[in-house]
Amino acid sequence: MEFVAIDETNRECVNEFIESQWHAAEMVIRGSVVDMTETEGIVVWEKGNIVGLLTYLIRDGICEIISLDSRQEGRSIGRTLIERIKETARRKKCRRLVVITTNDNIQAIRFYQRCGFDMAHLYHNALNLSRKLKPEIPLIGANGIPLMHEIEFVMDLEPLRNR
């Protein structure tokens, strides 16, 4: 597997991957629309195919993961992407890593906590606002769970020490 940054040489393939995974290029997070085709990211290539992708934005010393996808479970692609984004965030002087998921995404809730993130905020009924911006968001999410809330996970990044 090869881990590379999104750049002009792979952006078109990355955008196609985003469309295939998310069925749209826009994601609504905390009431704001994010165009994932304009975010920075880390792409995981294997045999000429994208097998993983993490997109992110950096603002005010905070690195926010916008999307994290792995097409192959059990190969530590997601966990390695988290390690890579931690390195990137530290290099860019970020003090915190943040990610938001929805209340129905039990797999992501488990994954982020196992990676060392802490549940920090519950945005109660946040999907009501999100549906005003993106009406195609379903009422029922994964596992038959009503899709209603956003959950924010955070990881404080320790300062670099003479590396």
The pLDDT score that the predictor gives to residue 158 is: 72
- Bridge partners of residue 29, in order along the sequence: 32
Burial letters 66-103, b for 16+ CB under 10 A, else e = bbbbbbeeeeebbebbbeebbebbbeeebeebbbbbbb
The pLDDT score that the predictor gives to residue 16 is: 93
DSSP, collapsed to helix, strand or coil, labels residue 1 as coil
Please give, one letter per residue, the 3-state secondary structure of 88-121. Answer: HHHHCCCCEEEEEEECCCHHHHHHHHHCCCEEEE
pLDDT tens per residue across span 13-55: 999 999 998 888 888 888 888 999 999 999 999 999 999 999 9
Quote the pTM value: 0.90
The pLDDT score that the predictor gives to residue 71 is: 85
Residues 6+ apart with CB under 8 A from 46: 1, 2
The pLDDT score that the predictor gives to residue 32 is: 86
pLDDT tens per residue across span 106-148: 999 999 999 999 999 999 999 999 999 899 899 999 999 999 9
